[in-house]
Amino acid sequence: MEELDIPELSSEQTEKLCSTAEEAARKHVLSKISGKKIETLNVCAEVDGSRPVKLTVDVDVALSSQTENVDVQKLADEAVGEAFKSAERYLRELKCRLPT
């Protein structure tokens, strides 16, 4: 992710960043696989530091044994990618709202 030069995030903004990333990852997985075929879907987004902000996203997916021809690792990696895209959009929106 490129350097966005945003100010230090408030605790509310940090929480929103994490929830935005988690929601995007979940949404991606559920757009690819029916919820009925998912045994486990754990998504965790954490922010470390305030300037620069370091975002870590972990996606753990386990599918039912009846689900075939799905690369679970690829699905999880794609979900992480979507989480980062969503987080970057959120941070860009914050930057745009800053007074100049």
Domain regions of the chain by residue span: 11-96
Helices 11-32 and 72-96, packing angle to 10 deg: 140
Per-residue pLDDT tens for 78-91?
A: 999 999 999 999 98
Q: Residue 18 CB: number of other CB atoms within 10 A?
A: 20
pLDDT at 1 over 80: no
Per-residue pLDDT tens for 7-65?
A: 688 889 999 999 999 999 999 999 999 999 999 999 999 998 767 788 999 999 999 98
The number of C-alpha atoms within 13 Å of 63 and in the hemisphere containing its C-beta is 17
Q: What is the DSSP string of 36-86?
A: GGEEEEEEEEEEE-SSS-EEEEEEEEEE-TT--S--HHHHHHHHHHHHHHH
Predicted TM-score (pTM) of the model is 0.87
Question: Mapping DSSP to helix (H, G, I), strand (E, B) and coil, where does residue 94 land?
Answer: helix
Fold for the domain defined by 11-96:
GMP Synthetase; Chain A, domain 3 (3.30.300)
